[in-house]
Amino acid sequence: MAENHQSMSREHHAAMARAESSPREHIPRHITGREARALVQGTGAMGHFNDVVAVIITRAVGSMWAAYIFVLIALVSLPQALVAFLNGDTIVGVTWLSQSFLQLVLLPILLVGQRVISAAQDARAETDHETLTALRQINIQQLEILEMLADIRKQPR
C-alpha cells in the first residue's frame, strides 16, 4: 500500500506541475471508488476478491441491525455480570461493560457513522468536481475573450 501511495504522490506532483505549466490544458480529474479501491488492494483478482469480502462483511457488521443484535447478545450475559458486580466483583462488571457491551455494540454504530460521513464526503467531492469543471469552462471562455480583445487592440485604427 505504501508503494501505491508513493506512486500516487508522484503522479499527483506530475499532474500539478502540468497544471501549473499549462493551465488551459488542465482537465479536472474525478477519482472513482473503483480507482480508490485499486489503490488499497490492487487490481488483480485476489485484490478484487478481498475488496468484495471486506465490503460484504463491513456492510453486514456495520449496520444498525447488527448493533441491535449485538445489544441482545450482550444482554444475555448481563444478569450474571450484574450479580457478580453486586457481590463485589467489580472486575466482572467492568469487563462486561467494556468488552461485551461497549466494544460489541459500538463497532457497528461506528461503522454506520463512518459510512454516513463517507457518503457525505463523496457527495461533496462530486459537487466540487462539477464546480471545478464548470469553472474551467468559464475560464477557457474568458481567456478566449481576452485573446479576441488583444487581437482587436492590435488591429490598426
**Is the residue at 39 inside a domain?**
no
Q: Which residue's C-alpha cell is 456495520? A: 62
**Is the residue at 88 inside a domain?**
yes
Number of domains forming the structure of the chain: 1
Instruction: Return the amino acid letter for 97.
Output: L
Average pLDDT across the chain, whole number: 84
Least confident of 23-27, 56-60, 112-116, 125-129: 23-27
Angle between helices 78-86 and 64-76 (to 10 degrees): 50
Number of H helices, E strands in the chain: 7, 0
Q: With bands split at pLDDT 50, 70 and 90, how would you rate the model's confidence at 146? A: very high
**Is the residue at 1 inside a domain?**
no
Which pLDDT does position 38 carry in this prediction? 74
108 by Cβ neighbours in 10 Å (0-12 / 13-18 / 19+) ranks as buried
Would the pTM count as exceeding 0.75? no
Which pLDDT does position 115 carry in this prediction? 87
Q: Which residue's C-alpha cell is 485484490? A: 47
**Is the residue at 99 inside a domain?**
yes
Per-residue model confidence as pLDDT tens digits over 123-144: 898 899 888 888 888 988 998 9
Residue 71 contacts residue 21 (beta carbons within 8 Å): no
Which pLDDT does position 68 carry in this prediction? 93
Residue 120: which domain range?
63-157
Per-residue model confidence as pLDDT tens digits over 36-70: 777 777 778 888 888 888 889 988 888 999 999 99
**Is the residue at 34 inside a domain?**
no
Helices (H), 62-99: 64-76, 78-86, 90-95
